[in-house]
Structures are given as C-alpha cells and as structure tokens.
Chain A
C-alpha cells in the first residue's frame, strides 16, 4: 500500500462518485456543484501523477473560471427541475445505460490486452521533470509557439463570438 495507491483510490472514488451523482441529480445547481467536486478530485489525481502545473491549472481554470460561468448562467436562467432519473421516457435511458456499459467493457478489455506486451513505465525522476512548469514552459515557447499563438487567437474569437451571440438582437 504505497501513498500513490491510497491517494489514487481516495481521489478516484471522489471523481467517479461525483460524476455519477452529477448526471443523476435532477437539480441543475446540485449537478454543477458535483462537477466542481469532480474537477477537484481530478486535480488530486494529477498530483499523484506528478503533474503539478496541470493540477493547479485544473483548479484555477476549470473549477474556478468555467464552473463559475456555468453557475452564473444557471442563476440567470433558473431552469426548471427535470423529472427523476428513470421516470420520463425510460426506454431510451435504459438503452443509453446498456450502450455505455458495453463500450466501457470494450475499453477495459482493450486497456488490459493492449498493454500486456509493452508496459509503459518511466522512472519517477523523469516523470517529476516532465510535470514541472519549467519543462512545459520551455516546450510552449520554443517548439509549440505557433499553437500557443493560435490558442490566443481562438480565445479572442470566442470572446467576440460570445458577445455577438448574447446580444439582444442579431
């Protein structure tokens, strides 16, 4: 029982349970708050993977900025509550759950049978070095400068698009 295993079980259970609770609650605000909990659990999992920079960005960007935007829109629109999980139109929901279970077991089969022959496992030092902000920043500003600029342009386009879409008349 290593520390990585204990932390993985803890944060993995938090993420998995909160994702299931998110899609089964009928109140939208409760769903959004469970999604925030899911993002926080994922940040913990990134810490167990030695990805410190991504963990911090996950908390700031996802759990902070994006989910606040969601909650703000929910506050503005105040949508009515849905019916409970399997009440309205149960056949399509049962079908969806069956399809999901089939794909999940396919993926599990694939994961176990594809990794048996060539296991991926780097040393802990290489893994820690890959997650530092120095390494990511060095790649971002040298080899990947063009995608970085494109991402900035994408954010500008998204800002203008959101303003145009949310205008009174268009």
Chain B
C-alpha cells in the first residue's frame, strides 16, 4: 500500500492524547466516560492499521473483542452514573468524593 503506516499511528496517538486530556480537564462524568471511549477507539485504530499492513486478520479479531468489552463497559458505566446521580443529584466528579478519605 502506498501510504505508509506512520500516518495512521500518528492519528491514533493524537486521538489517544485528546482522550487523556479530556479525562483530565472535564468535570462532567458522562464526558469523562466518552473520552475513555475515544481512547479505546484510538487503540482499535492502531490494531486495525497493523493488521492491515501485516496482512494478518488477528488484529481485526481483537478489535472485535475490544468492541464487545467497550459495549459492556458502557452499559455498566452508565448504570453506575445513573445510580450516582440518584444519590448525589449531580454529575460533577469534583462533588462525588464519597470514597475520598
């Protein structure tokens, strides 16, 4: 393939870093959760890029498993967010500090 793999890896690194910054700067629990999804997606992009450039389908198989785990994680995480909102009436993660000593 004429386009070299570095382009894909740099796009993936950029999206991962944006996800990290999103987790660090945002105070809304749902947006923090969406940033985690963004990081999972950038890892997927790396795996698909290597799988395609090596001509080996195992990487895409693992992307399939990552998507399964992401779906389970989204369901559980949103259930936790709903339970948290019911108890504290807020989604701001600075105010949800019941585990802080």
Contact = CB atoms under 8 A, between A and B. Distances in A.
B34 A31 contact: yes
A97 B64 contact: no
A161 B79 CA distance: 8
A108 B64 contact: no
Interface in A1-39: 2, 4-5, 8, 12, 15-16, 19-20, 22-23, 28, 31-32, 35, 38-39
Interface in B45-59: 45, 48-58
Contacts of A108: 10, 13
Main secondary structure of the interface of B (DSSP, over half): helix
Contacts of B79: 161-163, 165-166
A112 to B, nearest CB: 6
Given A49-B48, A49-B49, A130-B52, A140 B61 contact: yes
Contacts of A22: 18, 22, 31, 34-35, 38
Contacts of B4: 119, 121
Interface string A116-159: 00011111101101110001100110001001000100110111
A76 B53 CA distance: 43
Contacts of B2: 2, 4-5
Contact of B25 (A61, A92, A101, A122): A92
Main secondary structure of the interface of A (DSSP, over half): helix
B48 A54 contact: yes
B99 interface: no
A124 B1 contact: yes
Contacts of B19: 19
Contacts of B83: 165-166, 170
User: Which of B7, B28, B61 has its CB near the most chain A CB atoms (within 10 A)?
Assistant: B61
A76 B85 CA distance: 10
26 contacts: A8-B3, A19-B14, A22-B18, A22-B35, A23-B22, A31-B31, A39-B41, A49-B48, A57-B64, A58-B67, A61-B71, A62-B41, A66-B71, A70-B30, A73-B78, A77-B30, A77-B85, A79-B28, A80-B91, A99-B20, A103-B17, A120-B54, A127-B52, A158-B76, A165-B80, A166-B82
- A-B pairs with the 9 shortest C-beta distances? A126-B55, A122-B55, A158-B72, A96-B24, A23-B22, A165-B79, A107-B13, A162-B79, A130-B57
